[in-house]
Amino acid sequence: MNGFVQLIVLMLLLISAFFALWFKDLISSVISLAVFSLMAALEFYMLQAPDVAIAEAAIGAGLSTAIYIIAVRACSGVKRRQGGGPK
């Protein structure tokens, strides 16, 4: 049973990594990276490394996602003020 759950988590890791590259919208890509990080934290926990899992969840899913979202929104705000954008 544990091997089956690990296989599902690894498949979700692959799917979220694919979507992080496939999405054109940067916010969607960042959310997909957050899901990837949460799945990695779950995998670390299942591999009996709870300290690494906590660090991955806090830094990878929490802090990095917040920094990416702030950066993407700041850059899109600069684009709007300059009048540039996708054509």
Residue 33 within any structural domain of the chain: yes
The span from the CA of 47 to the CA of 50, in Å, is: 8
Q: Cβ atoms within 10 A of the Cβ of 38, count?
A: 21
**Rg value, the chain, Cα:** 16
| Residue at token pair 């996708």 | 86
Query: What range defines the domain where residue 53 resides?
Result: 2-82
Tally of domains within the chain: 1
Residue 24 within any structural domain of the chain: yes
pLDDT digit string, tens, across residues 46-87 = 999 999 999 999 998 899 999 999 999 998 776 666 665 565
Residue 25 within any structural domain of the chain: yes
Residue 87 within any structural domain of the chain: no
Q: For all residues of the chain together, what is the average pLDDT? A: 89
What is the rounded (10 degree) CA torsion for 45, 6, 30, 21? 150
From 55, 27, 19, 23, select the one nearest 40 (Cα to Cα): 55
pTM (2 decimals)? Answer: 0.82
Residue 18 within any structural domain of the chain: yes
